Chains A and B, each alone.
Chain A
Amino acid sequence: MLHIYCPHCGESRDEEEFHPAGQAHIERPKDPDACTDKEWGEFLYFRRNPRGVHHELWVHAAGCRKFFNMTRNTQTYEIKEVYKLGEQPSVVAE
């Protein structure tokens, strides 16, 4: 069970307080009506599934209810860093 540092609460909590919310940094297209079906389909359905470093969106569901980003190794489950929405990761895959 992961031990996750919430950047809003400022302390680590058990995984059961959190929910993962998919891949991080997926931005809703600014003008959806201008998107082709293919572009919209990619926004809707296509996600990375890396072995290794991955950026994920999580929410502290039972705590402060705030979303935040997490850089996590999907193989070792090591959490490299957490960072707030709008920030960029400092750890990225090679």
Chain B
Amino acid sequence: MSDAMLNEQVEATKGKMVMNQIPADIVGESPLHHADLETLASRGQDQGGVHLKEKSLQGLLILRAKPDEAQMAEIESVLGVALPTTPLTSVEMAGGKGDVSVRWVSPDEWFIVVPATVAFQLESDFQTSVSGHYSLVNVSSGYTILQLSGDNVVDVLKKSTPIDVHPSVFPVGKVVSSVFAKSGAMMLRRIGDNAFELIIRRSFADYIWLWLQDASMEYGLVIEA
């Protein structure tokens, strides 16, 4: 590696490379940028059974690890919360380095949501503080988060996924990966009685945006900025 590469933006210690991927003064375009949800929020209907909001431009990371006790503790000290090890659960914490939410994906995989600017810090902290075998990958631009709520949100989810979202088996905090319409990947997490968070892949975002408009048409769709 040339010396030019080694500056404060790029770190390659312990055989891994992390770099700050976000420019300081340029605003990114989220996967639903083209839909212009802000205009729809201000000019669209304000009554309806389904409410949609894109929680755009977050810091998103995928952690792979099979942590032993020591690594578990190191990860907890970096994240501020312990990794949820019970399948299909999530944890979140506000404050500290910023809001952090960690979702179980598989026995050796977690999806981490932090404010956009925290992602690189988190990667760097892992480099310095977490030992052993793991992989932490910044995927901030690879996904976006949709918040869905309203009286008919469950009806729209029933049209879209084979997952049973009844509160008796899908309480607040539960998180699942499944299919959404014909898109093969999504994560769904309940954040309230009638409120869910949907994490979808960037390239499928327009398809799911069209799908949600269509599926919620009979109930009325309200866009929130």
A and B held together in a complex? yes
Cα separation A63 to B107 with both chains bound (whole Å):
11
Rounded to whole Å, the gap between the CB of A25 and the closest CB of chain B is 21
- Among A8, A17, A62, the residue within 8 A (CB) of B107 is A8
Residues in B whose Cβ lies below 8 Å from that of A80: none
Contact A14 B162 (CB under 8 A): yes
Closest to B162 in A: A14
For the side of the interface on A, what is the size category? 10 to 19
Cα separation A65 to B106 with both chains bound (whole Å):
8
Closest to B187 in A: A63
For the side of the interface on B, what is the size category? 10 to 19
Cα separation A17 to B183 with both chains bound (whole Å):
11
Residues in A whose Cβ lies below 8 Å from that of B105: 64
The total of interchain contacts (Cβ-Cβ below 8 angstroms) comes to: 40
Closest to A61 in B: B184
- Chain A window 54-72, contacts with chain B (Cβ cutoff 8 Å), 1 for yes, 0 for no: 0000000111111000000
Contact B106 A16 (CB under 8 A): no
| B 105-147 contacts with A by CB, 8 A | 105-107, 109
Closest to A66 in B: B106
17 pairs from A and B in contact (CB 8 Å cutoff) = A8-B106, A9-B88, A10-B88, A11-B87, A13-B163, A14-B162, A16-B179, A17-B178, A61-B184, A62-B177, A62-B178, A63-B106, A63-B178, A64-B87, A64-B106, A64-B107, A64-B177
Q: B residues within 8 Å of A by Cβ?
A: 87-88, 105-107, 109, 162-163, 176-179, 184-185
